[in-house]
Structure 1
Amino acid sequence: MALVLVNSVSANAEAPEQDVDNMLYNHTCATLSELDMEIVRSVPSGGNWRNLPEATIAKSARLTQIYNSGGRTTYYGRLSGELPSYTINTYFNRPGNGTFIHPTQNRLISMREAARLQSFPDRYRFLGSFSSRFKQIGNAVPPLLGKVLGDGLKCGFYVDLFCGAGGLSEGLRQAGHRVLVATDLNRHMCETYRLNHENATVVQANVLNEADTDNLIDTIESKLKGRTLNLLAGGPPCQGFSTAGKRSPSDVRNSLIFRTLVFIHKLRPENVLIENVPGIRWIRQGRLLKTMLDALTREGYHHSTLVLKAEEYGVPQRRRRVFIMAARNGDLAEKPDALFSSVADPSARGDTITGSHSLPPPITVSEAIQDLPEIPSGGGVDSIEYDRSKIHSDYQKYMRGLVSIDNLIARRAEQA
């Protein structure tokens, strides 16, 4: 494909309102079938498929298979308002692939609710088709994870490979870093990124294509104007590594992680930050990750591999992510200290809280989304006036831009 500069959003995409305090975006949810609604009505807060009547289970071949095999307890789950959510993936438009039923309303969570559980602020607006926006939100790096890692690096210009909707970049921006160029193969993701990062040069490109890669490197070098790139960051598509499906050693997307080496070799950034799912550690019995790390060593980089628990850094979600950190000068950023306690068993249900009693408890689902207006299943609108009188938590204030994350953390610590 030809390399495309995405310097404006598509003609039918409206610019976001200037006063985010009065507006709420993307508060829409998927429609449920008659059987799915029967399932949703049967599952209590914190429950799952095990709470379904046998008569309901008998109506679905998939439910019958799950029932007979004792499948994951996250399937057909309803969120508990008193805990962080389970991992938000790209399938929150249907109930059977995770825990995506609203805690109190008989519907699936909306795009805005999922975005909040990912730690995207409310000013962040998602563009594209209905299905594309589910993927943009579910695939994103939670911005607060990007921020806490960005806080440990010297600020400067960065390039975001596989930028997606821009979750990692949003976190790096909050940490004081400045984006130079961002790129992704998906047009809708590029448009969302461009809308929310107005000063970025956004390029739609296929990095598996040599011509696109060469043109992209030329674009980056022209923007650098002889300066050294401070950070090359990115989250290569992880479907080949994810536990949401079978890990596939032959998945072509797995090779995308190695394409970052081409950019590292050509651009020689001071620092490298690569995000992926925990499954990357086990693909090909660990050989894939070792091959990547060995290649970084040959390029002259010191490196470390971190596993972060999202809820420990303010994300109201039990998400686990791997980050490869690399530095040319050997001055590696250390694993950031936890700011909140973690959920002891991320797959456990019920009243499970955790980790360290010296840290404040993690942000819960209710704290994240309880202020948002009620909508019916399949309902909601893409832009609606927001009622600030409904705010009841510091996290909601943070989502609305009324307090900083540092203020939220400080106030949480005082209340612990």
Structure 2
Amino acid sequence: MTFGDISFGKIVIDKTNLTYIWPDAFAASFAVTKELIISSNPHLEQDNMYELMRKFTNVVTIAELHNTKMTMVPENAFGNQPKIRQLTIQSGEQSIGSHAFRGLSSLIGLHIQWNSLSHFSANAFSIDQPSSEELYIQFDGNNFNEHSFDTGAYVGINRPTGLGSYWIKQNNLFDKFRKVKCSDELKWAVCLLANIQLIAGKCPDPSEILPCYGCEDGFITCSGNENIDLIKIFDKLNKALDPKEKNFLTFEFNNTGVTHIKSNTFGDISFAKILINHTNLVYINPAAFSASHTVTKELIITSNPHLEHDIYELISIFTNVVNVVEMYNTKITMVPDNAFGNQPKILMTFNSLSASISTIMSCFICGLVSTKSAKLQRILHAINARDLSDDEYNEWLMFGTIVRNTRTFGFTIGGYAVFNKLTFIE
């Protein structure tokens, strides 16, 4: 017990020459720590790392990154850790063992992209406790193929599951995955208990969307400084695609010539991720992305100096979104009343207000708050993090980090619980 009775809400072990961490080193933190990051430790051994990670029973987020001796996710890698929501594994792992995630009953984001994965054992993604909450698995940038999955690799996942992988589209396997039915006999049971939602758009001819580009890769980008006709561009694409081909990975818009995005601009085309940054947009009609309202997982709106507060009308209609980022939009000086709608899957929302004004927030619990960052920092330091719920802790941690590190700071709103306890007033 290196740290005795001292506990930590967040633990970061980064860029060290550690060769071993005693499993009970952080004993006082096992029921306290909410976030655990272990990154760039070239000498830590795999067995030691997983023995340590599974001790944290109250953790919400784990990131295991760039630890070169981590070559696989072993069998029963994680223990009974029912509060983990987001798990990132990116150290070049080559395989995933049986029942690796079995005790992660609340997991909604599994990020295992950019490894060297080439083998998945039977029951690799099995989770013991069923859930109606969707799990999104992202595994781009790996080495697997249709022979990499043992029989029953996806058996027992026990929840609706979304799958993000450009490899699926690249190998023309969309139809195969959509038609397949779950069975223990299937080598490649990507149907995920018949609940899988594939993100695999298609572009028969890249010229269909010029001057936008990239649709042949599942990513559509619209740049430049000309006032392009988005409705005309995407009407052509809608007509060229079958319904099952209209789900794209990403839409990025950084064109400076367009000032308005109109209703139903994209028709039946949907995007799992939407980025709107460095534009001269004045208004985005809330119905512009109508086909994406239940599909989009990530929404990023940054550095758009002319967008007004009504951007929240757009943000609030994405009912399946997990991550929202609204930053450096200089005309947005407050979070309005009832800014967010019924968005139960949002884990974190970050809003950056203008540096030239005092922070003014219309929050759900305390009306208008107007104060300076130094005062807020003192108040945040006075809060006992141990007494906070998981959701409150996420708010406290993010708010404190922003106030401490930047001149401008934001306000986060936990998306899967009523925000009803934290008040930042003197």
Q: Which has the larger radius of gyration?
A: 2
Q: Judging by fraction of residues, say which structure has more helix.
A: 1
Same fold (TM over 0.5): no
TM-score (norm 1): 0.30
Greater fraction strand: 2
Give me the TM-score of the superposition, normalised by structure 2: 0.29
